[in-house]
Structure 1
């Protein structure tokens, strides 16, 4: 199910939104995937169809979508993957309202690693999500249900959140495009925070073109979000819609010392093949010292940002500890031990690292970087055996991105022999969302040749 195909079918009369909704619910009920926490009644969605109006006035006319269950929709409970935390929002998140106003049809709320604390898709009392290409493998998380819902064609697109890779990792493992826009481009008002200062809404689609469309519709400055940035808007008006020039880009990749596949020779070969495709389109791909990114990543869970995670739900965790998944509780407990002095030390260190990153994308002449999205793929049994260590490995190429204020998109770039897909991430500076999307499209075309 792809957005532009649906819009064409509606315009030509070959299909109606009612038929699309019926088919979506049939697919959802045909298999137990654990992708969903709450489905809206089909009759309520059909009422939305009746209220759509003219297709020409709605860029997402009749397109079914889902949102991760830490994103509010008025009248549907938000759980953040924890039944005891559930509340009934009276208003929808800003991004959801924008999509609904554009004609999109919300089908329901999707499963997730509890409180968005995981990259695995297994830390949920609503059941673990499985990789759609081999159920023995993890789906990735924390936006696990959103990825599965799109990959199984339950919906045409879905929203997740991405603080440390939660939108990119499940996109990669399930063969989807996962766009993590620049921080502040999409409002996080109406979203349960993970790390409020780092959180981003992410978009799952089947193509880069669709990811750009959804992001443009959902984008815009929001005075109700203190982290919204007017200079990061991707709205559909004015000169901002012009395609970026790609003719003379300099593309970087991690140097040999920075590449890490955790002993997975297959992942190493998949990345090498993807880099060859990048080189066929953009020329030489330049090695970049990866130490900067590795040092930054270490701050996220071995620094005071884990205290920021705890601060969002501290009262609930203290009063309802038994409701919290044991692995999530263990992670959050680390946040109790950081002092104000340590916090400022980490902030100063991050400022130093960000200046180094600015030089990389400035004086050093790198326009975009490509990395693996994940360095390996794990089975659900492997994650159960070593849940924190292997989760951390999944974040090797993702944890640093929001700390350094970068934009990122993961695109499909091959598959493992056992089925899970391999993703290639394109990284750019904040505000370069259109550029990384355009580069992602070019890379996908090169890989398909």
Structure 2
């Protein structure tokens, strides 16, 4: 187990070098330090060896907390409680990640550390403000990452990078040790490539779980607004949203209509009303003082937002609170007995150039569906829902406070995982394992095949393994089973070179999973290495 954890750490740092995305990180821990921590780790811990990236506004002991502003930096002597809890469960922190400065933005471009580029298309934004965290997970570097979410910062980046983002009920996860954006709204969130991984991490982040409201028995009930109420979406996104709704219905959920108006009207209040003034309470005095010194390291867009909020009159806050209470009552009445509200996570995915041309307008559009969630005190889950024109498309499920588990169960209907068995270069620590990680795969278990196979070292340069089922004289071969999203499996198969093929691999326990097999025609001049019992023992014999 320790060997596998070390291999995962080394693969992550190799991946960091390969993808060449320095803008992801604010501070990256030295590989030697992480390896030393891995060696001392109890391998029986539930998250043993999971690599964790932490948004740069959350304290990690010994690393500067910058909130995306170098001149704001301070050096915490201890982890924020949420980081400490994940570390206690076995997670290994590899570094702190870039963000929209002071967590003010949904774009991922408002940072002196550089705009974080999208994991799929570098000409597109990553989404923010938890930009670096989302991209670190999407590129297969980190297994888990912490973000924060005030207006959608833990959900928009998930959607744009094809990963999962859980925004828990406020108060479920501690926010101590987090630089506030709007302290009354902020939530710590978690990113992962798969829903089970995100859920597992969240169980270790939670300090207190409130009771979920009683629900009427029966199938899941999902509220879906009329398409006209969604407003303008990017080309192809309406069809993708309809497909997601249809998938829920095909899985047994009951779809019911909902009036979206109170949600979208409340969303507009987050930045256009008095609530934005809480951002000045958080960091306004620092920004004012720094601006007087010349503003070194301040993002001009963020500075403008925070300084303008200083002048919001007090009476506006009280009138906005009253209006928000009315809108919340209408929204909850509209939600009625639905378990979840299904929405696109964002209305579109802009390019870096789009945001540069209109920093405020592009950002405001992105919060159309996310801004109201924390104002209303709701929980949310953002999950992938396919792709449009080669870019990830995501949806979110929003529900009442303390229905986090229910939302995840509904979301699971949209994200069934596929399994694949690997026996060679895609094994943990092997050269091609990063391909699996980049597609959202997660290690499930080590296994052996049924004694019905022979393993060959193909006559290639370098040698590759070939697994062939035989009618007799077979052996059990070392393998690993990985779980990955269906779209990840599809991408994997599309890139599979001959003579490799996907077939059914029978395991020693009698079950079968899809796995790599080799066409018999490729065995000419191949060496039979079955006696080694697996690819890794064979490689070890060559040293």
TM-score (norm 2): 0.73
Rounded Cα–Cα distance in structure 2 between residues aligned with 1:232 and 1:106: 32
Partner of 1:226: none
The CA deviation at 1:358 is 2.9
Rounded Cα–Cα distance in structure 2 between residues aligned with 1:270 and 1:96: 36
Contact 2:284–2:307 (CA under 8 A) maintained in structure 1: no
Rounded Cα–Cα distance in structure 2 between residues aligned with 1:431 and 1:443: 21
Partner of 2:502: none
1:193 maps onto 2:180 in alignment: yes
Partner of 1:170: 157
CA RMSD of aligned residues (A): 2.0
Partner of 1:256: 227
**Among 371, 377, 390, the residue aligned to 2:343:** 371
**Among 401, 414, 428, the residue aligned to 1:430:** 401
1:231 maps onto 2:210 in alignment: yes
Rounded Cα–Cα distance in structure 1 between residues aligned with 2:363 and 2:398: 21
The CA deviation at 1:302 is 1.0
> In structure 2, the residue corresponding to 1:257 is in which secondary structure?
helix
Rounded Cα–Cα distance in structure 2 between residues aligned with 1:260 and 1:368: 20
Rounded Cα–Cα distance in structure 2 between residues aligned with 1:171 and 1:246: 31
Structure 1 residue runs of 4 or more that deviate by more than 6 Å after TM superposition: none
Contact 1:208–1:438 (CA under 8 A) maintained in structure 2: no
CA pair 247-59 structure 1, distance change in 2 beyond 3 A: farther
Who wins on radius of gyration, i.e. which is larger? 2
Q: Which has the higher contact order (CA 8 A, sep 6+)?
A: 1
The structure carrying a bigger helix percent of its residues is 1
Partner of 2:20: 32
CA pair 140-180 structure 1, distance change in 2 beyond 3 A: same
Contact 2:227–2:238 (CA under 8 A) maintained in structure 1: no
Aligned runs of 1:345-384 on 2, under 5 Å? 345-361=319-335, 364-384=336-356
Partner of 2:501: none
Task: Kindly provide the CA deviation profile for residues 230-257 of structure 1, in whole angstroms up to 9, marking residues without a partner as x.
Answer: 6279xxxxxxxxxx99951211012233
Rounded Cα–Cα distance in structure 2 between residues aligned with 1:319 and 1:254: 46
Partner of 1:49: 38
1:404 maps onto 2:379 in alignment: no
The CA deviation at 1:51 is 2.4
* Structure 1 runs not aligned, ≥5 long: 1-9, 222-229, 234-243
**Among 402, 415, 429, the residue aligned to 1:444:** 415
The structure carrying a bigger strand percent of its residues is 2
Contact 1:257–1:290 (CA under 8 A) maintained in structure 2: no
**Among 255, 260, 264, the residue aligned to 1:294:** 264
Contact 2:52–2:91 (CA under 8 A) maintained in structure 1: yes
Rounded Cα–Cα distance in structure 1 between residues aligned with 2:54 and 2:77: 16
Contact 1:306–1:334 (CA under 8 A) maintained in structure 2: no
Rounded Cα–Cα distance in structure 2 between residues aligned with 1:155 and 1:307: 34
Rounded Cα–Cα distance in structure 2 between residues aligned with 1:275 and 1:442: 10
Q: Number of paired residues?
A: 414
1:111 maps onto 2:124 in alignment: no
Rounded Cα–Cα distance in structure 2 between residues aligned with 1:248 and 1:62: 37
Rounded Cα–Cα distance in structure 1 between residues aligned with 2:301 and 2:193: 32
**Among 272, 296, 306, the residue aligned to 2:276:** 306
Partner of 1:158: 145
**Among 87, 97, 118, the residue aligned to 1:131:** 118
**Among 94, 114, 118, the residue aligned to 2:81:** 94
Partner of 2:314: 340
Rounded Cα–Cα distance in structure 1 between residues aligned with 2:122 and 2:231: 25
Contact 2:220–2:410 (CA under 8 A) maintained in structure 1: no
CA pair 245-282 structure 1, distance change in 2 beyond 3 A: farther
Task: Kindly provide the CA deviation profile for residues 389-444 of structure 1, in whole angstroms up to 9, marking residues without a partner as x.
Answer: 01111111100000011111111111121x32110101111100000111111122
> In structure 2, the residue corresponding to 1:251 is in which secondary structure?
strand
1:83 maps onto 2:70 in alignment: yes
